């Protein structure tokens, strides 16, 4: 059987982003962009004051959705209730920047604009990122309001110390958009309830580097983006993720083990598999490595050629078969070699095999997009060219499907 994966499902990935009237609202534009990159669908709700700083058009463009504001809420065609209802379907509400004024209203339960009304109507996790002058932030009224919100289960992100927009130094600067994105992902993971929730998932990513001498190596162009996307997706579904990678991986809410060579990756995977339920081998592991690893630097001298003797590297995937472990392999082939991928799936005995054609235009190694075919026990599911995060959603769906069938 074969078929197309369902097109980019919403999958409950809507995040409400409340923006209020502080200078830091310009950083919310970057936040919304980042949330889109993370695979979320941000829905921006703006206060009238926020619109004096950044026009709704900017947020509409970066979120790829209309902005909800008081103006549109009072229009007969849209309507207040419809707006609140739309907003209630979101999974997480984040208010960033959160002004002293809006925080006070949230603490008091005032609902005099669309955002504050939504804050009362919303039942999911709420995150606030305060942003204001240090004196406003340290005022007992603000301190008490933040305390009230925290006691009610709102996640109050700390502010940063430093230069403030008003020119003064002190606390009250909004945390970075990256930190807010992490908090949103944590909130999603905490609310997850599916087959991957609580499972330990080990993901490998990036191309390995095999040392020739102290400064040179044989490597490949793998960026690690596909593996990173799978790790991110598994995390959002509540998995305990360990990413074993050759690439830098900042801003991850899960464990990252940095490695360089195939041997190091094999050792790290062995260690991580002790309590793992799922292994996803998305790394581009070198097939060969130099026989000798010269301790110093090979000198050019007067030689015209240099021969580096290569030997096979360890087959990490082949070494990991054990009962109970759900294994996912990747096959990057030059050309539409589905037949070879099927043979690899059988030879490695993996539960899923993700095939991609490295010669296809604009996708695969190093790119932000991919086009894959997922070979499962019974199906071949095609995911046409799309973002790597959307591919990761399809892969995670199939892993969950496989775990369900166990």
**44 near ligand FMN (CB under 6 A):** no
**23 near ligand FMN (CB under 6 A):** yes
Return the structure tokens found at 43.
């829905």
**Applying CB under 6 A, which of residues 54, 100, 126, 265 lies at the interface with ligand FMN?**
100
Catalytic status, residue 119: no
Nearer residue to ligand FMN within complex by CB, 170 or 258: 170
Return the structure tokens found at 59.
């947020």
Query: What gap in Å lies between CA 236 and CA 324, rounded to an integer?
Result: 23
Stretch that binds ligand FMN, among 16-24, 219-227, 236-244, 330-338 (CB under 6 A): 16-24
Contact 64, 82 (CB under 8 A): no
Return the structure tokens found at 183.
């908090």
**132 near ligand FMN (CB under 6 A):** yes
Burial class (CB within 10 angstroms; exposed 0-12, middle 13-18, buried 19+) of 135: middle
Number of residues that this document lists for the chain: 406
Contact 99, 22 (CB under 8 A): yes
Active-site annotation holder among 119, 147, 166, 391: 166
**205 near ligand FMN (CB under 6 A):** no
Nearer residue to ligand FMN within complex by CB, 116 or 386: 116
**Applying CB under 6 A, which of residues 41, 72, 91, 101 lies at the interface with ligand FMN?**
101
**49 near ligand FMN (CB under 6 A):** yes
Stretch that binds ligand FMN, among 20-28, 214-222, 225-233, 395-403 (CB under 6 A): 20-28
**135 near ligand FMN (CB under 6 A):** no
Cα-only R_g, the chain: 25
**50 near ligand FMN (CB under 6 A):** yes
Q: How far is the CB of 158 from ligand FMN (least distance, A)?
A: 16
Query: What gap in Å lies between CA 124 and CA 114, rounded to an integer?
Result: 17
**102 near ligand FMN (CB under 6 A):** yes
Q: How far is the CB of 136 from ligand FMN (least distance, A)?
A: 6
| Torsions phi, psi for 151 (to 5 deg) | -65, -25
**63 near ligand FMN (CB under 6 A):** no
**131 near ligand FMN (CB under 6 A):** yes
CB atoms within 10 A of CB 319: 12
Return the structure tokens found at 258.
């940095």
Q: What share of the chain is helix, strand, coil (3-state, %, to 5)?
A: 35, 25, 40
Which residues belong to the active site? 166
Q: Which residues bind ligand FMN (CB under 6 A)?
A: 20-24, 47, 49-50, 99-102, 131-132, 136
């Amino acid at each position: 059987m074969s078929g197309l994966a369902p097109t980019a499902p919403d999958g409950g990935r809507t995040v409400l982003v409340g923006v209020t009237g502080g200078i830091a609202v310009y950083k919310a534009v970057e936040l919304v962009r980042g949330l889109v990159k993370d695979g979320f669908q941000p829905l921006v709700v703006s206060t009238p004051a926020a619109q004096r700083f950044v026009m709704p058009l900017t947020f509409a463009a970066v979120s790829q959705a209309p902005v909800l504001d008081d103006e549109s809420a009072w229009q007969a065609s849209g309507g207040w209730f419809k707006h609140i209802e739309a907003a209630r379907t979101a999974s997480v509400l984040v208010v960033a920047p959160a002004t002293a004024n809006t925080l006070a209203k949230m603490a008091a339960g005032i609902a005099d604009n669309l955002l504050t009304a939504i804050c009362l109507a919303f039942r999911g996790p709420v995150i606030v990122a305060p942003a204001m002058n240090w004196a406003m932030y340290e005022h007992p009224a603000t301190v008490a309001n933040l305390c009230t919100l925290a006691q009610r289960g709102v996640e109050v992100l700390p502010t940063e110390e430093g230069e403030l927009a008003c020119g003064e130094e002190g606390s009250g600067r909004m945390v970075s958009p990256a930190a807010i994105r992490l908090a949103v992902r944590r909130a999603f993971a905490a609310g997850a309830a599916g087959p991957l929730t609580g499972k330990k998932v080990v993901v490998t990513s990036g191309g390995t580097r095999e040392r020739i001498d102290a400064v040179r190596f044989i490597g490949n162009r793998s960026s690690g983006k596909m593996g990173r996307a799978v790790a991110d997706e598994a995390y959002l579904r509540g998995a305990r993720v360990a990413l074993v990678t050759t690439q830098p991986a900042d801003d991850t809410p899960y464990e990252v083990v940095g490695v360089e060579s195939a041997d190091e990756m094999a050792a790290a995977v062995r260690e991580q598999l002790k309590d793992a339920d799922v292994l996803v081998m998305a790394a581009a592991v070198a097939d060969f490595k130099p026989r000798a690893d010269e301790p110093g630097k090979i000198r050019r001298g007067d030689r015209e050629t240099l021969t580096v003797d290569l030997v096979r590297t360890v087959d990490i995937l082949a070494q990991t078969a054990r009962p109970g472990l759900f294994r996912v392999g990747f096959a990057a082939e030059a050309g539409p070699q589905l037949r070879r991928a099927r043979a690899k799936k059988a030879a490695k005995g993996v539960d899923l095999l993700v095939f991609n054609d490295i010669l296809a235009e604009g996708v695969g190694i190093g790119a932000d997009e991919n086009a894959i075919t997922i070979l499962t026990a019974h199906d071949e599911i095609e995911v046409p060219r799309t973002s790597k995060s959307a591919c990761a959603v399809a892969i995670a769906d199939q892993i969950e499907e496989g775990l369900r069938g166990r």
